Amino acid sequence: MVTNTIGSSLMCVGPGGGFEVRQLPRRKPATGEIEVAVAAASVNPIDVRRAKGYGRRLLSLMGAGRFPMVLGNDVAGTVTAVGNNAGAFKVGDRVYGVKPPSVEGTHASHVLVKAGHVLPAPAGRDLQALAAVPYSFVTMWLAVRGSGLTRQNAGGKRVLVHGAAGGLGILALQMLSRWGAQPTAIARPPDFAACRQAGAAEVLDGSIKPFASLSRAFDATLNFAAWEDDLALLGCLRRDALGHATTVHPLLANFDELGWLRGALKTFSDKRRHRAALPEGTQNYAWTVFRPDASALQELRQSVEQQCDGLTIGLRTPLAGAAQAFDHVRNRQRGRALILPE
Ligand SMILES: NC(=O)c1ccc[n+]([C@@H]2O[C@H](COP(=O)([O-])OP(=O)(O)OC[C@H]3O[C@@H](n4cnc5c(N)ncnc54)[C@H](OP(=O)(O)O)[C@@H]3O)[C@@H](O)[C@H]2O)c1
């Protein structure tokens, strides 16, 4: 039952314009949607970039490119209203999940989400801890699958994870080690212990760019850190490897900077150049783009129910203090940043 029809939203006013908390009318859920009173929503690197206008051209195709906008792609909270055909959810259920890029993101007191994009929160589990994970987990899972790794084939595979101490990296180490793979983490020395705890079989110092010494050693490589290291990572794959996936590719930036035609041509040529650098017989090469994938959400559900994966929270702030959360992510400070609307 919706009793208060006004909600608070963190509006990102425009590139350089900062943020304002605005009181806005809440809409009723459409068919297939539920409304969630947000207990917590995370701030991710994409939010920091979108606040500056990054991705506006391609994201405009899904109505997510114009300011003012509410950012945020994941949420945990309590169901407050249910649309028609919205599955088995009912008012009062505790849920967590993802929302595709939009101008009505999750940095708000209430958010409308597709029922298929959220999962029931296990009884007793902390909603704040759950809010830190869904967007990163789903993207990580898509990258792992994009590289050709599956739960079935991962056993004993050597996997190189660049950016291993970040959100995607830690979740990848946790999942891959659970799947029986042998992940090697590239991170900075202060993060070695966290990588080992997350399941890294080996840790390497990223500050000395260790790629040359790793020639042809890996079954799969994952780049969660830097596009400029992508070719060096491809050189770490063995012949007939499963493959490589990167979440840090220039897809959105190419279109932002070069427009539709030249952006498409540059994207095509970037991909072709990198594919050409793959060792002979490599099966997969993927530029991962987040989407609310049903199989990824099922894997997330399983990992949450088995209490396998999670991320450390570094900062919690109310909506009005959200600029602090954006600074935390921009400055690459440790732990995830959460916005707590209430
Ligand atoms: N394509 C998509 O749809 C999609 C979706 C989600 C995320 N992403 C991107 O994937 C990346 C990882 O996400 P995340 O949430 O895990 O980010 P994160 O928590 O900020 O972690 C990024 C990790 O990469 C390392 N790193 C960053 N820049 C680096 C550089 N230039 N050289 C070496 N290491 C570097 C960081 O190390 P230090 O902290 O030690 O510097 C950190 O461990 C981000 O760039 C994010 O924007 C893309």
Identify the CATH class of 6-132+311-340. alpha beta
Residue 262 has a CB neighbour count (10 Å cut-off) of: 12
Cβ of 169 closer than 6 Å to ligand 1, yes or no, is: yes
Say how many CA atoms lie within 13 Å of 297 toward its Cβ: 19
How far, in Å, CA of 275 to CA of 285, rounded? 7
- Give percent helix, percent strand, percent coil of the chain, each to the nearest 5: 35, 25, 35
> Which residue owns the Cα nearest ligand 1 atom 45?
248
> Which residue owns the Cα nearest ligand 1 atom 20?
166
- Domain positions in the chain: 6-132+311-340, 136-287
> Which residue owns the Cα nearest ligand 1 atom 17?
166
Distance 224 CA to ligand 1 centre (A): 5
9, two tokens: 């939203």
Q: What is the pLDDT of residue 28?
A: 96
User: Based on the number of CB atoms within 10 Å of its own CB, is 284 exposed (0-12), middle (13-18) or buried (19 or more)?
Assistant: middle
Q: What is the pLDDT of residue 17?
A: 72
Distance 5 CA to ligand 1 centre (A): 38
Distance 86 CA to ligand 1 centre (A): 34
pLDDT < 50 stretches in the chain: none
**Do residues 213 and 232 lie in contact, with contact meaning Cβ atoms separated by under 8 Å?**
no
User: Based on the number of CB atoms within 10 Å of its own CB, is 184 exposed (0-12), middle (13-18) or buried (19 or more)?
Assistant: buried
How far, in Å, CA of 337 to CA of 10, rounded? 15
Q: What is the pLDDT of residue 3?
A: 61
How far, in Å, CA of 138 to CA of 298, rounded? 10
How far, in Å, CA of 333 to CA of 166, rounded? 10
136-287 topology per CATH: Rossmann fold (3.40.50)
How far, in Å, CA of 3 to CA of 40, rounded? 21
Cβ of 291 closer than 6 Å to ligand 1, yes or no, is: no
Per DSSP bridges, beta strands 33-43 and 74-82 are antiparallel
